[in-house]
Amino acid sequence: MTEDVKEETLNSIAHEVQQNGEEITEQEEEEDEEEEESEKPAQTDSRIGRDSPFEFGKRNLTDNSDVWDHNAWDNIEWGEEQIEQANEKILEQKKFPVSDFDKNLYNGNPARYWDIFYKNNKENFFKNRKWLQIEFPILYSSTRKDAGPVTIFEIGCGAGNTFFPILTQNENEDLKIVAADFAPKAVDLVKESENFNPKYGSACVWDLANPEGNLPEGIEPKSVDIAVMIFVFSALAPEQWDQAMENLHKIMKPGGKILFREYSFGDMAQLRFKKNRFLGDNFYVRGDGTRVYFFTEEELREIFTKKNYFIENKIAIDRRLLVNRKRKLKMYRCWIQAMFEASE
Ligand SMILES: C[S@@+](CC[C@H](N)C(=O)[O-])C[C@H]1O[C@@H](n2cnc3c(N)ncnc32)[C@H](O)[C@@H]1O
> pLDDT tens-digit profile of 65-84?
676 666 766 767 777 888 89
Distance 208 CA to ligand 1 centre (A): 9
- 185 pocket-lining for ligand 1 (C-beta < 6 Å): no
Q: What's the rounded mean pLDDT across residues 226-238? A: 97
- 175 pocket-lining for ligand 1 (C-beta < 6 Å): no
Nearest Cα to 11, choosing from 267, 225, 310, 210? 267
Whether residue 44 is predicted with pLDDT greater than 80 in this model: the reply is no
Q: Which atom of ligand 1 is nearest to the CA of 114?
A: 25
Amino acid found at 29: E
Q: Convert the pLDDT of each residue in 7-38 to its tens digit.
A: 555 555 455 444 433 323 333 344 344 444 33
Whether residue 63 is predicted with pLDDT greater than 60 in this model: the reply is yes
pLDDT of residue 41: 31
Q: What's the rounded mean pLDDT across residues 93-109? A: 97
Whether residue 219 is predicted with pLDDT greater than 70 in this model: the reply is yes
Q: What's the rounded mean pLDDT across residues 147-160? A: 97
Whether residue 58 is predicted with pLDDT greater than 90 in this model: the reply is no
Q: Which atom of ligand 1 is nearest to the CA of 244?
A: 19
Burial of 80 (C-beta count, 10 Å sphere; 0-12/13-18/19+): exposed
Burial of 210 (C-beta count, 10 Å sphere; 0-12/13-18/19+): middle
Whether residue 312 is predicted with pLDDT greater than 70 in this model: the reply is yes
**Which amino acid residue places its CA nearest to atom 10 of ligand 1?**
232
Q: Which atom of ligand 1 is nearest to the CA of 210?
A: 19
| pLDDT band of 124, cuts 50, 70, 90 | low
Quick one: which H or E segment has residue 37?
helix 26-37
Pairing of strands 283-285, 278-280: antiparallel
Amino acid found at 141: S
Q: Which residues contact 318 (CB under 8 A, 6 or more apart)?
A: 56, 264, 334, 335, 336, 337
- 230 pocket-lining for ligand 1 (C-beta < 6 Å): yes
Domains of the chain: 3-342 (3.40.50.150)
- 183 pocket-lining for ligand 1 (C-beta < 6 Å): yes
Hey, which of 232, 240, 241, 285 would you mutate to test ligand 1's pocket, going by the most ligand atoms within 8 Å of its Cβ? 232
What is this structure's pTM?
0.84
